[in-house]
């Protein structure tokens, strides 16, 4: 069916990128409610001027305005009732029935999305993908298209079924990239689950992944959940980190998305850059205090460290020792260790997680010496095929042998 659509494509087409596709997908799945359609010109101006849509906070208008001369020509020539094909990376991924086309102010839209930060690299990326015209109308995405083949996406319906199956009452959402998943994450998950029936992890999937791509991050997160946490009370929802979430108001969209997934609370670190906490008359305020009709509650998370005096993971708010006794769980630091091919301390990252990541980053690294595996490590005496991951695990076990210290 998909190949027929490609071969028989005779209608005008808009060429859009994955960021636009995934933004349209969120709207189609009802995850941006009250927004459930592409806005027309009047709605665009109302939302951009008031920050409200149907009485609820929504930081900026939801429109489709792809860049490119060919796209601009199609939009300018389109008439109400025309059917437009949506193409992404040479794949037909949907269609749009035109209601209207209208001119937009690219600079003003960029300013709105980025909350004034228009000179960063991210802002430049968004500006370059914006066209001069927008197109609105009813649309449909073909989820069987090859562009969605890698998605492995949990849907709103799947989360709802998860809740019903487990008779869930209270649900907290948390956005994270788990790059890598650490002991601190586990501590936070357990803390949340002490007060809630279900934890929904919104796992970021970036357009341009860094050292640890989505596959290995999700694999390690699933391993920890399956083996060390109540797996029937944690759900993973892949969340594409697209332009909608780029600016300071992205945190409001996180909350709207979580609310539409059926969550009644969202957990956010106190040092989250866009939370904008301030104090007035001994009361704490954040960006959510300016939001209207977003009913989800916010759970603020303290920063955790490992204290070498307390000998455990502690909150900075409750640890009595100075910061020179603290080990911080910085993802950049841990990635630097892993990128060098070294094994992070197990007080930071579980040994099984480190083994999975290192064997993924450096495949067949020990192929030349793995044949000596049996002579290097104690074993059960059974002849077994050994992998790089097994090698790392055995190596870590030897590092942790203290009797000769």
Note the pTM of the prediction, 2 decimals: 0.85
Considering the domain delimited by 156-301, tell me its CATH architecture.
3-Layer(aba) Sandwich (3.40)
What average pLDDT does the segment 141-145 reach? 86
Higher pLDDT, 356 or 116: 356
- Give the residue extent of every domain in the chain: 13-141, 156-301, 306-400
* Distance, CA of 343 to CA of 396 (rounded, Å): 8
Nearest to 238 by CA among 299, 150, 168: 150
* Distance, CA of 69 to CA of 75 (rounded, Å): 10
pLDDT of 196: 92
Is a pLDDT exceeding 50 seen at residue 13?
yes
The pLDDT-based confidence of 3 (bands split at 50, 70, 90) is very low
For 13-141, CATH gives 3.10.400.10
**Per-residue pLDDT tens over the stretch 186-210:** 999 999 999 999 999 999 988 788 8
DSSP category for residue 153 = P
Is a pLDDT exceeding 80 seen at residue 287?
no
Q: Between helices 121-129 and 106-113, what is the axis angle to 10°?
A: 140
Is a pLDDT exceeding 80 seen at residue 377?
no
- Let me know: does 59 contact 245? Beta carbons within 8 Å: no
Nearest to 378 by CA among 393, 362, 356: 393
**Per-residue pLDDT tens over the stretch 23-61:** 999 999 999 999 999 999 999 999 999 999 998 899 999
pLDDT of 209: 84
């Amino acid at each position: 069916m998909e190949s027929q659509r490609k071969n028989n494509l005779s209608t005008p087409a808009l060429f859009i990128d994955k960021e636009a596709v995934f933004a349209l997908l969120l709207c189609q799945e009802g995850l941006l409610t009250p927004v459930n359609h592409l806005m027309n010109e009047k709605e665009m101006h109302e939302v951009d001027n008031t920050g409200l849509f149907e009485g609820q906070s929504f930081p900026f208008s939801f429109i489709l305005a792809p860049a490119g001369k060919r796209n601009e020509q199609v939009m300018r020539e389109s008439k109400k009732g025309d059917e437009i094909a949506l193409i992404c990376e040479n794949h037909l991924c949907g269609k749009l029935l035109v209601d209207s086309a209208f001119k937009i102010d690219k600079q003003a839209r960029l300013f709105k999305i980025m909350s004034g930060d228009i000179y960063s690299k991210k802002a430049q990326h968004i500006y370059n993908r914006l066209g001069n015209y927008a197109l609105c109308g009813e649309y449909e995405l073909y989820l069987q298209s090859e562009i969605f083949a890698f998605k492995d996406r949990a849907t709103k319906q799947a989360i709802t079924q998860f809740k019903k199956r487990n008779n869930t009452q209270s649900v907290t959402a948390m956005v994270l990239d788990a790059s890598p998943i650490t002991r601190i994450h586990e501590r936070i998950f357990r803390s949340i689950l002490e007060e809630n029936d279900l934890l929904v992890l919104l796992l970021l999937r970036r357009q341009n992944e860094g050292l640890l791509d989505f596959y290995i991050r999700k694999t390690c997160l699933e391993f920890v959940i399956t083996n060390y946490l109540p797996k029937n009370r944690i759900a993973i929802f892949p969340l594409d980190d697209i332009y909608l979430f780029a600016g300071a108001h992205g945190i409001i969209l996180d909350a709207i998305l979580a609310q539409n997934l059926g969550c009644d609370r969202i957990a956010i670190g106190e040092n989250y850059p866009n939370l904008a906490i301030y104090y007035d008359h001994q009361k704490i305020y954040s960006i959510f205090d300016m939001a209207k009709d977003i009913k989800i509650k916010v759970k603020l998370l303290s920063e955790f460290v490992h204290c070498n005096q307390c000998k455990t993971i502690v909150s900075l708010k409750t640890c009595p020792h100075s910061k020179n006794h603290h080990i911080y769980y910085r993802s950049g630091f841990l990635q630097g260790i892993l990128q060098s091919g070294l094994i992070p301390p197990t007080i930071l990252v579980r040994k099984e997680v480190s083994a999975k990541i290192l064997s993924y980053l450096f495949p067949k690294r020990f192929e030349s010496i793995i044949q000596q595996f049996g002579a290097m490590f104690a074993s059960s005496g059974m002849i077994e095929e050994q992998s790089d991951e097994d090698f790392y695990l055995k190596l870590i076990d030897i590092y942790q042998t203290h009797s000769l210290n």
